[in-house]
Structure 1
Amino acid sequence: MLSNATRVLCPLVTPFDDGAVDHDALATVVNHLADRGVDGFVPCGTTGEFASLTQEERTEVVETTVEVAPSDAPVVAGAAGTAVETVRGRIADVAAAGADAALTVSPYYVTASEPSSNQAFFERVVADSPIPIYLYNIPSVVNEEIAPETVEALAERESVVGLKDTSGDLTHVTDVLDRVPDDFEVLQGFDGQLVPGLYMGMDAGVNSVSHVIPEAVTEAVESTRAGDHDRARGLQRHAVDPLFRCGSQYGFSGATKVMLAHEGLIDDPEVRPPLELPDPDEREEIQSTLDRVGDRATG
């Protein structure tokens, strides 16, 4: 579904203003990133605090993203849930809101005991889908991976076009890559392994750090594709990795919003419970890291 020129999709934060979704701030972020080379957008994902949004809010966030994003920028909207019919309904909702594709995870809370159970769940979810589907492998929050053999089986379905892998496990990724067709898109969602994943054959990145260093992330992908190994490694180590560590330590939604507020792109780094913002000392560390990275990211 993605073009060969696609490098980076941004898993968008959902800005809030006194508890309500701030659509003006969301539009500002999308416009800013589009102007700085981000190729596509992923609203209502993990960084977007999808689990803290009502269904109406999810639909409205997708609508705003679609309205503001350039017409050639794919919008892959989160449609996660634990019940088959709920997920099918959410896929229909994001399709009606104008999304180009949907992103969905394994059922959480009640996890499957066998890969075949997850496969059965996904098969029912994607049946007759009105838009293409990307599987989303994020075992750190779902508590289990989407097994490579499950991805292999689902890749045979016309509606399932790719996988966003946020496992941080390159062995898992290479097993998937060995099993799926060449046109099945495998996207790196674990920022700390963006460049290594691309070298192993992944197609593009879905990276939270692209909120604040979009040029560096897109250049890292381009450098990898062009064989400029020194530049690609330097951007990974000195730009992507330090900010990824901030997100890993303090939470990606909160840390990313602290960075966006520091850059003046949003007014308030507010998150919704159960998430909490980093404390003042931690915020200062995040901001200092961003300031240090900013000079090196484009140098």
Structure 2
Amino acid sequence: MQTAFNASQASTDFSGLWIPLVTPFDQGQVDRAALKRLVAHYRSSGIAGLVVCGSTGEAAALDKDEQLQTLHTVMNEAPGLPVVMGLSGYHLGQTAARIKALGALGLAGILLPAPSYIRPSQAGLIEWFTALADVSAVPVILYDIPYRTGSRLDLETILALADHPRIQALKDCGGDPAKTQALIEDGRLQVLAGEDANIFSTVAQGGRGAIAAAAHLHTARFVEVMRRIRAGDLAGAQALWAPLQPLIEGLFDEPNPGPLKALLAERGLLRNELRSPMTRASAALVERLQRLDALAA
């Protein structure tokens, strides 16, 4: 049974560009100084907000205390900038308890994927997301990313969940353009591109924005591409978008965020360090990305 909900007190406009922050490390520990540098670098860049502890943030390699410390550091360094917290799990009670605890922190939303490893039915997925949305004090962004969770959210499942007043958006990594278009046309959820290569097409079709790892780089260009699309200047947007496409492709040729961290380290924003089993990008890929990065500038 859904708890009482005041939409005016828990509604977020997720339009625009959201950056899923990497988590910097220094000799195995979360590098809070570098994290503060990152927030300072992005907070006035025109982005809509930040996502903490997403897959790009290596959240699975952080313990719960580190996740909370990372969240608090980001929120303290970006007053007034909306922050979304990624939260995954496969134990319903524990996940619900964490969502309740996060509800008092002033978050703009919770980014919530299907439970990994379990591979429940579509009915089970509806039960999962409904139970967690019921206890959330902030809006929920559904995270449809079957290649990480092992569970695909069918169109009918997402449409059923769209009736829940707290479920307000979708990070779309589902890999189904027809489903994306149907959800945009339905209009109840704010559809956000989750695959960076799909930003242009998603926004041009009426999607509301994107949560994009590649936008750590050339952030202002990503923001301007989306602004021009919304203004109807598709030709201008395409001219800015075209140089970004090879870089975006290259950034995901090896597991994210290894390639991204290599380029951010070159910019002096963090150390090129990841937590096992994530590894640094290969020297050959970094060399190629350096060329693509320069061409995108």
TM beyond 0.5: yes
Matched, 1:222 2:230: no
* Cα deviation digits, residues 168-222 of structure 1 (max 9, x gap): 33212112223442xx211111110101101111101111111111101000100
- Counterpart CA distance in 1 for 2:109 and 2:77 is 17
- Counterpart CA distance in 2 for 1:75 and 1:160 is 16
The residue that corresponds to 2:292 in the other structure is 289
Q: Is the Cα contact below 8 Å between 2:12 and 2:108 reproduced in 1?
A: no
Q: Is the Cα contact below 8 Å between 2:100 and 2:135 reproduced in 1?
A: no
What's the CA shift for 1:66?
A: 0.9
Structure with the higher fraction of residues in helix conformation? 1
The residue that corresponds to 2:249 in the other structure is 245
Matched, 1:103 2:111: yes
- Counterpart CA distance in 1 for 2:13 and 2:129 is 25
Aligned equivalent of 1:257, options 249, 253, 261: 261
What's the CA shift for 1:236?
A: 2.4
What's the CA shift for 1:97?
A: 4.0
The residue that corresponds to 2:141 in the other structure is 134
The residue that corresponds to 1:64 in the other structure is 73
- Aligned pairs for 1:24-35 within 5 A: 24-35=33-44
- Counterpart CA distance in 1 for 2:226 and 2:173 is 17
What's the CA shift for 1:27?
A: 1.2
What's the CA shift for 1:284?
A: 1.8
- Counterpart CA distance in 2 for 1:148 and 1:83 is 24
- Counterpart CA distance in 2 for 1:93 and 1:238 is 43
CA 1:139–1:269: 2 relative to 1, 3 Å: same
- Counterpart CA distance in 1 for 2:34 and 2:70 is 11
The residue that corresponds to 2:210 in the other structure is 205
What letter is aligned with 1:51?
A
CA 1:85–1:235: 2 relative to 1, 3 Å: farther
- Counterpart CA distance in 1 for 2:109 and 2:76 is 15
Give identity over the alignment, percent: 29
The residue that corresponds to 2:273 in the other structure is 270
The residue that corresponds to 1:177 in the other structure is 184
- Aligned pairs for 1:84-95 within 5 A: 84-95=92-103
What's the CA shift for 1:9?
A: 0.6
What letter is aligned with 2:265?
A
Q: Is the Cα contact below 8 Å between 1:76 and 1:103 reproduced in 2?
A: yes
What letter is aligned with 2:20?
P
SS of residue matched to 2:111: strand
SS of residue matched to 1:122: helix
- Counterpart CA distance in 1 for 2:20 and 2:194 is 9
What's the CA shift for 1:93?
A: 3.6
* Cα deviation digits, residues 224-244 of structure 1 (max 9, x gap): 0011111212222212x1222
CA 1:88–1:163: 2 relative to 1, 3 Å: same
- Counterpart CA distance in 1 for 2:47 and 2:185 is 28
RMSD, matched Cα? 1.6
What's the CA shift for 1:65?
A: 1.2
The answer for unaligned runs of 5 or more in structure 2 is: 1-10
Matched, 1:54 2:58: no
SS of residue matched to 2:170: strand
SS of residue matched to 2:142: strand
Aligned equivalent of 2:52, options 35, 43, 46: 43
What's the CA shift for 1:247?
A: 2.2
TM-score, scaled relative to structure 2: 0.92
